[in-house]
Structure 1
Amino acid sequence: MRSGLTIIFLCLGLTVFAQQDPMLMRINGKDILRSEFEYIYNKNNALSGIEQKTLNEYVDLFVNFKLKVAAAEAMGLDTTRAFREELEGYRRQLAKTYLTDETVSELAARQIYDKMKANQRAGQVRVSHIFKSLPQTATSHLLRTTETRMDSLYTALQNGQADFDACVRNFSDEKKSFWVSWLQMPAEFEDTVFKMKPGEISRPFFTPQGIHIVKVLERKDILPFEDVKDEIVRRQTRRHGMDKGTESLVEKLKKEYQYTPDKVGMDELLAKGQTEKKLFTLGGREYTGQMFANFAIAHPQGIQRQLKGFIMKSVLDYEYSRLEQKYPEFRMLMQEYRDGMLLFEISNREIWERVPSDEVGMAAYFDKHRSDYHWKNPHYKGIVIHSATKRIGKQVRKLLKSLPEEEWQDAIRLTFNAKKQQVQAEQGLFALGDNIYVDDEIFKKEKAEPIPSFPFTTFLGEKIKGPESYQEVRGLLAGDYQNYLEERWVARLRAASKVEINQEVLKTVNKH
């Protein structure tokens, strides 16, 4: 009876969901829900500087977009290692904001900031120190010897018998000065330096890293909270393993996913350091001692901290696996990024990589659409020759008349400028305003002054109404040819596909 009721309620739930988010279109048998279309439609129409599209116009664009993505999937572009790694990297980055309680995290950071402002740890302190590193396994003899030496250095500094900077250079394991902010260095270090004034030198003191004599060089006031908030959270995490916002979220998720510890397994693990028993359940799944052992190998700490870390990681990993189900906006962003990657890759292969090297195709397109590229005003195609003497200018012009245009510059360089530069020349296609000498002589507009070293100017070329070769309008042509290839590609995709639009659901877009 219970299973029958479960099926009935499940069917009712699916029916309600289908009514809330109905199928808007079906492309090659794949359903597209209204929510996905609305998300992209509203997002793109909200972008400033983008031409606003009507609903029907955007439906066409959306269908073309989905057909291109489907073509990329058919080629297996979504299965490559590079694609999967980039998508997973984006997912990890996006998930960060979903795996912490932002309110609690900001409140904790604010409390730390207020403490920093209220005591001497506000701002930053730049320090230099005489530092001797001491390993955790240091013998008592090494500790005594190092401490005695540092005491002697401190006495010499106090009596003016030693220079601090010289001691840093000669004795310290750390030579460079550095800035210290709260929660950046060990507490013992910060307790000392934040009480000191610029120019003051500390007595020798120990930290977990070794023994120090510190000199404060300068101090800076604390920055505004918004400028340091993220850094405070990062330092809290480094020092304590997890920030307050994440800890708060974990506690909420434990309740949501019915985290249930197993006392027998927990007690055995804490007593013996290992167990084969169940430790806890989460979301209906059992987490065992063997799973903990695998975690512990990668996190060498005390057993209590290891267990706490394992529980937190398990909770966060479970939440990470459910983000698409739990948060529609997360699912939409992931879908958008995934489809965008596929669109870029397939467009690159079908269009963008092809255009620069398809000389035959561009030439054929230009011949067919030549009239589209006629100019409103004529251009000058040729060369402007500036020469040291009028005689040389005539010789240059006579020589170039007998040669193809592509050989003109080499002929000038080898014949007239080999030993001494006698000619300066500009060759190309010139519109009004491109070259003052062309404007003067050819277009009869602006008056040009002669070049002092090459005062005689002559021309070889002609005025033309439109380009003679596609190379002369290559930049403009490339964009048009790209659009032409895309139109043909979309037409092929459309012809090979079945697209069904639910017009009744389309009428409800943004109206439900």
Structure 2
Amino acid sequence: MPLRYLVTFLLITLILNVKAQSAQEGVLFFVDDNPVYTSEFLRVYNKNLDLVQDESQKDVDEYLTLFTNYKLKLKEARALGFHEKPSYKRELASYKKQLTKSFMTDAKVTDAMVEEAYERISYDVKAAHILVKVDANASAKDTLIAYNNILKLRNRTLNEGFEVVRKEVHNGQTVFGESLGYFSGFRMVYKFETAAFNTNVGEISKPFRTRFGYHIVHVLDKRKSRGERTVAHIMVAEKKVGALAEKPEVRIQDIYKKINQGEDFDVLAKQFSDDKSSASKGGVLKPFSSGQLGSQEFEDVAFGLKKVNDVSEPFKTKYGWHIAKLIAKKPIPEFKAIRPELEEKVKRDDRSKLIDEALYASLKTKYNIKKGQPALDYFESILNDDYYKRVWKLPGDFSENKPLVKIGKKQFLYKDFGHYLLKTQRIGVQRTSIRLIVLSRYDDFLNYHLIKYQEDNLETENEEFAHIINEYRDGLLLFDLMEKTIWNAAKTDSIGIQDFYKVHKSKYILPQRIDAIVASSSKQKILKKVAKLLDQGMALDQIKRLVNSKDKVEVMFTSGIMDAEHQALPKSFQFKKGISKIYNHNGAFVIVQVKDVLQKTNQTLEEAKGIVISDYQTFKEENWLKDLGNKYKIKINQEALNKIKNQIKK
């Protein structure tokens, strides 16, 4: 067949194949000649449906606009060669490596380990232990000596008492005798944790080995976990902006006195707490368990509160001064809720070794790897004492091209394992039989290549993995493109930003504000007295000394520049100079002395720069997308779109 006819035939075949695929999968739209399939659109739409906050984006047409814009940007990124950048390739490879780990596990074994971990975090164990140190790679002789020593110590503890022996033998070098207090799951190495949880209270475990040496553990107590707490707090920050300049420890003590006077905790939190995220909720924080907070001091106080509605004394953390109130107590979260977190911990813990062993076994089954390896007799015959000295070499007549083992479609030869033996002799090995060395090295060789083959082929063997990688691949391209084309360009385009600000200057306005003092009290008559004193021009410190006593706080002040949304101001408050009437606000009474009213004014470019740059970026992106729409033509398959709408309605 002439060459020109052959080329024509191949082109026709290719076009027919593309059309067949399009018909089979359903093309939703084209970006120029690149098809985008309905299956991809539906998968992304359904995946993100629950995450979308803007209701308009749940509309198929609105979401399709977002999706086509997304594809336009990706088309441009590839046209500009962003996918060829070395930094892009490195980051994608790094992510792929990390993601692969999460897919390379045996699900059944992982499930069992996660369930066991949940059981263990549900309890705390109080224990002490004795450790005879011995290196993980110690010789058989040294290992036996360490084991015999721990066995003798265990016999002594049974006769003389654990604490007596523990204190006597501890030297901090070769033998450690330590009281460990209470601990839960994941606080110790897995083998130690297992021994502690499997030993009854009051008993001493049999000797067991970890990477540190041989242990015995004495279990003193087991208790249910402390679980979860919900607390409310009032916080006075160390550095306050726009409020009365007084020492935070003085202010927190004044608030504490008001609580003891019977005033509502949540009302005081709304008025005075500097934790803006919780103040409007009466100081209530999200529930937390041990180790979840960034402050051990706060956690200790919170778990120290015994009864619901108990209130702590003022205490200090790195964030400032606090008063805490116990709202609710809850045991360890339900297994289903905490399972993802536990699974991540299991995969990072010593438990992962058991999961790895299960994975090796499943991959051997998957790729039909037979038990036993006759070729190892040959390698045993060519290995000698030079291997211990790390100077061993392959013999001159080495049978390098003989088949060794086949994993999937990849055939490994004698030379592959031979070179692995050469390379790994640098690691060194304890003197043992040549046979054991060959068996150990072959297991390591086989396991490594089983994992590597599975990793290399995961994208073609696992659909979910392929989807995630593709999304990340596109996401990286999109980020690089947006950073270079829009974000960085907008930040550095000073002339463009100035011109944009001039055109939209009326949009950037500071609201009307007041320079004011807000006095708060639980009693109206107190505020009437305070109003007179303020009107007389008396200083705030003097008013406090006159109205408050050593044991009772009747009034508190907040001062500074405030807008209408400030938490201290009543919603109906009118901005005008002078002393206001008494308002009922947040469960207390307040008066406001307005020293000055600051009128609404335009922000300068410098004052509004952050939001101006953000708006300018949006402006640039909208115009850029119009240009991309002209550069790359979008052709929607209306029939396919209608099918999607009907499918979603059902």
TM norm structure 1:
0.64
Q: Tell whether 2:405 aligns with 1:280.
A: yes
Deviations 1:229-249 (A, max 9, x none): 77778655525x834355224
Separation in 1 of the partners of 2:474 and 2:416?
Answer: 36
Which of residues 217, 221, 230 is equivalent to 1:218? 221
Amino acid at match of 2:168: C
Q: CA deviation at 1:312?
A: 3.9
CA contact (8 A) 2:514 2:596 kept: yes
CA contact (8 A) 2:575 2:597 kept: no
Deviations 1:306-363 (A, max 9, x none): 3344334434433322333233332222111121222223323333345556554344
Deviations 1:111-154 (A, max 9, x none): x969x99xxxx978654333332456569699769957984896
Q: Which residue of 1 aligns with 2:190?
A: 184
Deviations 1:368-388 (A, max 9, x none): 23455689xxx54797799x9
CA contact (8 A) 1:123 1:219 kept: yes
Q: Which residue of 2 aligns with 1:238?
A: 353
Unaligned runs of 5+ in 2: 1-9, 226-331, 384-393, 430-435, 519-533, 538-557, 584-591
CA contact (8 A) 2:205 2:217 kept: yes
CA contact (8 A) 2:459 2:465 kept: yes
Q: CA deviation at 1:487?
A: 0.7
SS in structure 1 of the partner of residue 40 of structure 2: helix
In the TM superposition, what are the counterparts of 1:125-204 in structure 2 within 5 Å? 126-134=126-134, 151=152, 155=156, 158-159=159-160, 163-170=164-171, 173-174=175-176, 176-177=178-179, 184-185=190-191, 190=195, 197-200=200-203
Which range is displaced more, 224-233 or 356-365? Answer: 224-233
CA contact (8 A) 1:21 1:33 kept: yes
In the TM superposition, what are the counterparts of 1:202-351 in structure 2 within 5 Å? 210=213, 212=215, 214-219=217-222, 235=350, 237-238=352-353, 242-244=356-358, 247-252=361-366, 254-255=367-368, 265=375, 268-269=378-379, 271-272=381-382, 276=400, 277-296=402-421, 297-298=423-424, 302-351=437-486
Q: CA deviation at 1:279?
A: 0.8
Deviations 1:207-230 (A, max 9, x none): 896555543333467999876777
Higher relative contact order (CA 8 A, sep 6+): 1
Separation in 2 of the partners of 1:56 and 1:160?
Answer: 77
CA contact (8 A) 1:100 1:246 kept: no
Deviations 1:240-273 (A, max 9, x none): x834355224412x15xxx689977565345545
Separation in 2 of the partners of 1:456 and 1:183?
Answer: 62
CA contact (8 A) 2:29 2:36 kept: yes
Which range is displaced more, 339-348 or 134-143? Answer: 134-143
Deviations 1:380-412 (A, max 9, x none): 4797799x9999xxxxxxxxxxxxxxxxxxxxx
CA contact (8 A) 1:380 1:442 kept: no
Identity %: 24
CA contact (8 A) 1:99 1:246 kept: no
SS in structure 2 of the partner of residue 302 of structure 1: helix
Distance 1:153 1:85, change over 3 A: same
CA contact (8 A) 1:385 1:459 kept: no
In the TM superposition, what are the counterparts of 1:320-469 in structure 2 within 5 Å? 320-355=455-490, 360-370=495-505, 379-380=511-512, 430=563, 442=576, 446-447=580-581, 459=596, 463-464=599-600, 467=602, 469=604
Unaligned runs of 5+ in 1: 1-6, 392-423, 450-454
Separation in 2 of the partners of 1:281 and 1:342?
Answer: 37
CA contact (8 A) 1:26 1:500 kept: yes
Separation in 2 of the partners of 1:458 and 1:501?
Answer: 63
Q: Which residue of 2 aligns with 1:396?
A: none
CA contact (8 A) 2:417 2:442 kept: yes
Separation in 1 of the partners of 2:451 and 2:595?
Answer: 78
Separation in 2 of the partners of 1:267 and 1:21?
Answer: 53
Separation in 2 of the partners of 1:216 and 1:269?
Answer: 48
Separation in 2 of the partners of 1:205 and 1:39?
Answer: 51
Distance 1:364 1:493, change over 3 A: same
* Equivalent residues, number: 449
CA contact (8 A) 2:509 2:603 kept: no
Q: CA deviation at 1:160?
A: 7.3
CA contact (8 A) 2:206 2:216 kept: yes
Q: Which residue of 2 aligns with 1:84?
A: 89
Separation in 2 of the partners of 1:446 and 1:509?
Answer: 61
TM norm structure 2:
0.53
Distance 1:60 1:149, change over 3 A: closer
Separation in 2 of the partners of 1:364 and 1:436?
Answer: 38
SS in structure 2 of the partner of residue 26 of structure 1: strand
Q: CA deviation at 1:281?
A: 2.9
Q: CA deviation at 1:107?
A: 7.2
CA contact (8 A) 1:95 1:320 kept: yes
Separation in 1 of the partners of 2:463 and 2:162?
Answer: 70
Q: CA deviation at 1:469?
A: 4.0
Amino acid at match of 1:90: Y
